[in-house]
Chain A
Amino acid sequence: MKGIAKSLLTTLSTFSRKPVTRDYPNVHKTLPERDRAFPLLLWDQEIDEPFCTGCHACERACPVECMTVLMKDNPNHKSVGGTSSRRKIIDKFWIDYARCMRCNICVEVCNFDAIAMNNTWTGHETSVHDRKDLVMDLQMLLSQSHAGAIKEWVPVIGQTNE
């Protein structure tokens, strides 16, 4: 009987504690800076074009082959009277969010810091009715960064805190 009383006391003691649960769809937890949801592309606000040059580095490094990249000549390049120093620029970009396993490798291999993992709640709440809707095109991938709605965290591999 002593043991049962002890276990009942244990459950009773939780009444005095604060609840650890959240009213989820109404209350969102603040996500840490490093949170990794699905990858998205970043927008160069200075020149007003994407950072991505379509170099295929992420496409080749992706373990699950969820990306498709096509590049084109930059119509805004200096040689044709534009303001950008990027000779090539991204033309079409698809990421299949249904296949992506959020391993962060695309971010690591990118030479232009053009891709980042989404660390906001929009990256987590991606439920759709059809799997086809999870294939994101260039416009969808860029929109969040274009609107300035993301403060991305792009790690350098092996970096220390100093």
Chain B
Amino acid sequence: MVTERAREFDTQDLLINVGPQHPSTHGVFRMVLEIDGELVKDVIPYIGYLHRGAEKLCETMDYRQGIGFMDRTEYLAAFNAELSYVMAVEALAGLEVPERAQWIRMILCELNRISSHFMFMGAFGVDTGVMGTPFIYGWREREGIIDLFEEISGDRMMYAYFRPGGLAWDVTTNFKARVREVLKSITQGIKDFDGLFTENEIFVARTKGVGYISAEDAIDYGMSGPSLRASGVPMDVRKDEPYLKYSEIDFKVITGEHGDVFDRYHCRLQELRESVKIIEQCLAKMPDTGPIMPEKMPRMLRTPPGEVYLRTEAPRGEYGVYLVSNGGNRPYRLKVRSACLSNLQALKQMSVGQYVADAILVLGSIDIVLSEVDR
């Protein structure tokens, strides 16, 4: 009799398909959710819709030609992607980058981190159910930064501005004043987002305790960047293995406590403030004049045989480039370790047992960029 009654309330699992053409998947990402009522029981992600074979393409091109393709592996933070590639080539070729070029690189990378995080804030706000407002705020702040990039490099998203050895050409003469101007508007933008979200009871109720992942699990999945730091692991390549001039800069590594969606948001918000601080210090320390390329650069750069793995801290985490050279003017093998792909692995762990709407939130909270996942 009891079993009969239990069978009456038996539910059938339902498979629903989200994506690839779905606005909440932040690109062409498809996941199949196995749901029991409103609860997610299983997540099966399908990636590869945006695969362009950037790594393999770079192997058929010389080092300068490859930069354009590395831009496209991460379109929200192309400076950071370029930086990893260019620094790997420099490490292999033994090039010394002039000091001024390093400061400029740092400023541009941090600005790009800020623009990427603003983009996250906007998109994440929409994921939580706030229609439009945060998205437009994010774009507004990002626009100012992108205008600055356009003045310097000429392009709004695919800069192709860093070159092995330094920078392609010098920044504009009013660079420092323009960066300060942009920083002012960024500071206001951070305040806006802080006011809009951080204490908002509806937002907190929507995000606190959702998509929890423990520090151990996060490390096991190979997560990095703000998604890992939100679980309380103070791992930051800028601090652990300082590259460029980060060892001369004073900044904090922001960590969260709970490892939930709210902490992942809050980590990024505080990171914005840290980035502003870093840029201000860079501006104070950066020399006004000086070379931006080593004096003697060959027309066609060739690297000695060898291999190098170089990692930098991109907005979404550790962005590594593994480069093997057999002595020619092009990579023998190029492998990109993108933070997004590793972070995405934890999607199932984070969203099983949550509601369907929360699965979207979890996906948004790791700040997924599909061009970086598929490359």
A residues whose Cβ falls under 8 Å from a Cβ of B: 1-4, 6-7, 9-11, 14, 20, 31-32, 34-36, 61, 63, 101-105, 108, 117, 119, 155-162
* Chain A residues positioned under 8 Å from B203 (CB to CB): 3, 7
Closest beta carbon of chain B to A101's beta carbon, Å: 5
Q: Can you name 14 A-B residue pairings with CB atoms under 8 Å?
A: A7-B197, A7-B203, A32-B150, A36-B155, A103-B158, A105-B64, A108-B168, A119-B154, A155-B168, A157-B168, A158-B292, A160-B289, A160-B292, A161-B289
Partner of A20, one of B140, B173, B204: B140
Do B200 and A7 touch across chains, with their CB atoms under 8 A apart? yes
CB < 8 Å neighbour of B61 from A10, A63, A108, A117: A63
- Cβ contacts under 8 Å, B297 to chain A: 158
B289 touches A158 (CB 8 A): no
Report if B291 contacts A (CB, 8 A). yes
State whether A4 touches B65 (Cβ < 8 A). Answer: no
* Cα separation A152 to B65 with both chains bound (whole Å): 23
B158 touches A102 (CB 8 A): yes
Contacts of A162 in B (CB 8 A): 289
Binary flags per residue of B339-356, CB closer than 8 Å to A gives 1, else 0: 000000000000000000
Whether A101 pairs with B68 at a CB distance below 8 angstroms is: yes
B89 within 8 A of A: no
Which residue in chain A gives the minimum CB-CB distance to B168?
A: A157
Q: Which residues of A contact B201 (CB under 8 A)?
A: 1, 3-4
CB-defined contacts of A32 to chain B, threshold 8 Å: 150-151, 154
* Cα distance A6–B107 in the bound complex, in angstroms: 32
- Is B247 interfacial (CB 8 A cutoff)? no
Is B158 in contact with A101, judged by CB distance below 8 angstroms?
yes
Partner-A contacts on B (CB < 8 A): 61, 64-69, 72, 133, 140, 143, 150-155, 158, 160, 163, 165-173, 192, 195-204, 289-293, 297
Nearest chain-A residue to B166 (Cβ)? A158
Q: Is the CB of B160 within 8 A of A161?
A: no
The answer on a CB contact under 8 Å between A61 and B65 is: yes
Pairwise interchain contact B168-A11, C-beta atoms closer than 8 A: no
Given A4-B202, A103-B67, the answer on whether A160 and B291 have CB atoms closer than 8 Å is yes
Give B135 Cβ to nearest chain A Cβ, in Å.
13
Interchain CA distance A124-B158 in the complex, whole Å: 15
Minimum Cβ distance to chain A for residue B375 (Å):
16
Report Cα–Cα, A102/B150, bound state, in Å. Answer: 13
The minimal Cβ–Cβ distance linking A25 to chain B, given in whole angstroms, is: 18
Q: For residue A160, which residues in chain B have a CB less than 8 angstroms away from its CB?
A: 170, 289-292
The docked-state distance in angstroms from the alpha carbon of A90 to that of B251 is 56
What is the chain A residue whose CB lies nearest that of B294?
A: A158
A104–B161 Cα gap in the complex (Å)?
9
CA A5 – CA B150 in complex, angstroms?
38
Q: With A4-B200, A63-B65 in contact, do A35 and B292 touch (Cβ < 8 Å)? A: no
Determine the distance from Cα of A102 to Cα of B159 in the docked complex, in whole angstroms: 9
Residues from chain B with a CB closer than 8 A to the CB of A105 are 64-65, 68, 160
- How far, in Å, is B326 (CB) from chain A's closest CB? 20
Q: How far is the CB of B41 from chain A (nearest CB, A)?
A: 34
**Bound CA span A38–B166, Å:** 25
Evaluate contact between B196 and A7: CB separation under 8 angstroms: yes
Smallest distance from the beta carbon of A67 to chain B beta carbons, Å? 13
- Nearest to A2 among chain B residues (CB) is B199
Docked complex Cα distance between A101 and B153 (Å): 15
Contacts of A161 in B (CB 8 A): 170-171, 173, 289
Q: Which of A31, A105, A119 has the most CB of B within 10 A?
A: A105
CB of B289 within 8 A of CB of A20, answer: no
CB distance A63 to B69 under 8 Å? yes
User: In whole Å, how far is A119's beta carbon from the nearest beta carbon of chain B?
Assistant: 8
